[in-house]
Amino acid sequence: METQDHCDCLNCLLQTKWREYYAATETALTANYPAYREILGLLDRICTRPVEIDEYWDMAVRLGKLLEQMGPGTVFYNYFFEQINPYHQGTARHFRHLCLDLREQIQAFDRWRREKRRLRLVKNH
């Protein structure tokens, strides 16, 4: 759904805010692509296989550091950094659920990036 620049309805304001988050995330991703790839790898590991309690701390700290590298104003940082990092509010009880939520946010971000850059095939006769 497209928003209008002059519209002040809640939906348009939220859409605008998400576009700002996504733009900041894209900038952070471009500047720190290796960290993004490592985040994806960790999330794949955490979300698809059991995490033993003795693995939790190291994984949560590493993921927290990577999320912090992506910086404030991104979809990685504003909520997930604080909630996943065990030195802040992170707990083992909610770790997998937060990682699943983060993975969904990243998938939504990736869809936004793909839709923004539509490529067209031009057939030459």
d(CA 76, CA 35): 11
What is this structure's pTM? 0.80
The residue type of 111 is R
Rounded Cα–Cα distance for residues 32 and 14 (Å): 26
pLDDT tens digits, one per residue of 18-65: 888 888 899 998 999 999 999 999 999 999 999 998 999 999 999 999
CB atoms within 10 A of CB 78: 14
SS3 call for 27: helix
Return the pLDDT at 91: 87
pLDDT, position 10: 85
> What are the boundaries of each domain within the chain?
33-115
The Cα 118–Cα 125 span in angstroms is 22
